[in-house]
Copies of this chain bind each other. A is one copy, B any other.
Amino acid sequence: MSISSRFSVGIHILALIEINKNGTSTSEFLAGSVNTNPAVIRKIIGMLKGAGLVKVQPGIAGAELAKNLSDITLFDVYKAVNVVQEKELFSVHDNPNPDCTVGRNIQAAIVPVFEAAQTALEKSLGNVTVEDIVNDIIEKENIS
**Chain A residues within CB distance 8 Å of chain B:** 1-5, 7-9, 11-12, 15-16, 19, 32-36, 74, 83-85, 88-93, 95-97, 100-106, 108-110, 113-114, 116-125, 128, 133, 136-138, 140-141
Contact = CB atoms under 8 A, between A and B. Distances in A.
A119 to B, nearest CB: 8
Contacts of A121: 117-118, 120-121, 124
11 contacts: A1-B1, A1-B84, A2-B88, A3-B89, A5-B93, A8-B92, A12-B103, A32-B100, A105-B137, A108-B140, A120-B121
Given A19-B101, A85-B2, A93-B5, A110 B34 contact: no
Given A11-B110, A89-B3, A91-B4, A35 B96 contact: yes
Identical copies of this chain, number: 2
Contact of A93 (B3, B8, B19): B8
Nearest to A84: B1
Nearest to A103: B33
A89 B84 CA distance: 12
A102 to B, nearest CB: 4
